[in-house]
Amino acid sequence: MQLGVIGLSTMGGNLARNAARNGATVAVYNRTQERTDEFIKAYKTEGTFVPCRDYSYLIAALKPPRPILIMVKAGDAVDQVIAELVPLLSKGDILIDGGNSFYRDSERREKELTKKGIRFLGMGVSGGEEGALWGPSMMPGGDKSAYELLEPLLKKLAADDGSTELTTGGGKCVSYIGSGGAGHFVKMVHNGIEYGLMQLIAEAYHLLKSEGKVPNKEFAEIFGGWSKSGFLQSFLIEITAKIFRKKDDLTGLDLIDVILDEALQKGTGKWTTTAAMDYGVPIPTITAGVDARIISGWKEFRMEEGNFAPPALEEKTIDKTSLIEDVRFALELSFTAAYAQGLQLLSAASREEKWEIPMSEVARIWRGGCIIRSALLPLYQKLIEGDKEAGKTMLEYTGGEHQRAWRRVISLSALRGIPMPATSASLSYYDAYRTKRLPQNLIQAMRDFFGAHTYRRVDKPGTFHSDWQ
């Protein structure tokens, strides 16, 4: 086994180490020679590395067909690396873009490289620096023959999916996603779901802190408990518990309390929201997560006195124990909405683009290694596969007391002026889908009134226009 790696930042370097540890000869190159030298000095005992001072050395260090993983900043930098590599490559060589590239760029690159006889994979990689080193979730799309050639190595690199029944993919969190930009599209949607889940967790924290007066130490215990059972058993809940235990090295205070309340983003959430608009798929929980980050960035405007009148809050005695239980149920049900929205978007895009994304495989390879791994994913995998018992489980869970708790949480947040946009959007999403007759008949009537846009009737086929005046 062999692999070339271009770009030795945290993700690229850790993937190179992962490959070497699993028996591959890894030729490594970084734009700055100092970084390559530092990498070799630090990790040379972990496996077989070949340091390369330029691309010609990298090509010479690998045997055709050469697999080369590009781990540089998404965008123009990827195109520049490809342009410099292509004259040195042989037909049949494989270029793998493992960064967070826009899926349309991956589609373009595959088409351009195919004309030159070079195989291309756009591969989403999730798991952060630890995942890259010890086992990420990988979502490769593009040239299928390239994936088949690399599958043995990729399976060695990937995380285990935790399944007892070894489904397609052999229990490893990697599988061929589809042609063109499918791999990077799936990773983009993965990141969109991540935006939604993180916002939901933040909203639960906000309500419990403001209305339940929960201290940080107790938050660590609450999230720690939630991470061990039920539908909230997940990587993000697990790390949230750890965050509340961390002290600030500078002040000795809880680190969470000295972090500025502005959340940054790199664009994949926005891409997901834009794609959903393009494909006509509702993803309100994910979009609310993107919006919330944007609002948080308007810190100066939020701090200006007199911008908004304080809410007339309803006084109500809060039972902390009951509130914590309600928030748990609301968070669980909102999580189900975020995953459902992302999977619905993947399904719609796959149909339109003819990618043939294996949906149950996507749910499976997200079960380990990746940031959104969760106890919900095995259930969604079974739902996609048509398991009636899984459908019954989901139906029972979304009803009864759990749903009442969901509604109580959102009612309390509105009465007490606590913004919970993603949680509210999740319930509205659920309610819209369970409502047999929505009020959009009025919207269509207004469109026909002012623009003669016509409407359809409930009692006969065809389109109609009325003289509303």
Report how far residue 283's alpha carbon sits from residue 195's, in angstroms, rounded to the nearest whole number: 11
Report how far residue 136's alpha carbon sits from residue 245's, in angstroms, rounded to the nearest whole number: 26
Q: Pick the catalytic residue from 107, 110, 172, 194.
A: 194
| E-strand stretches of 193-269 | none
Rounded-to-5 percentages of helix, strand, coil across the chain: 55, 10, 30
User: What does the block give as tokens for 374?
Assistant: 């969760």
Exposed / middle / buried, residue 469 (Cβ in 10 Å: 0-12, 13-18, 19+): exposed
Indicate the SS3 state at residue 317. Answer: coil
User: What does the block give as tokens for 451?
Assistant: 């623009």
Do the beta carbons of residue 46 and residue 32 sit within 8 Å? no
Report how far residue 49's alpha carbon sits from residue 113's, in angstroms, rounded to the nearest whole number: 27
Q: Pick the catalytic residue from 187, 353, 361, 382.
A: 187
Report how far residue 71's alpha carbon sits from residue 14's, in angstroms, rounded to the nearest whole number: 11
The sign of the dihedral angle between the CA atoms of 122, 128, 133, 137 is: negative
- In eight-state DSSP terms, residue 247 is B
- Please say if 194 is a catalytic residue: yes
Report how far residue 455's alpha carbon sits from residue 457's, in angstroms, rounded to the nearest whole number: 7
φ/ψ region of 137 (left if φ > 0, alpha if ψ in -120 to 50, else beta) reads beta
Q: Which amino acid is at 65?
A: P
User: Would you name the residues annotated as active-site residues?
Assistant: 187, 194
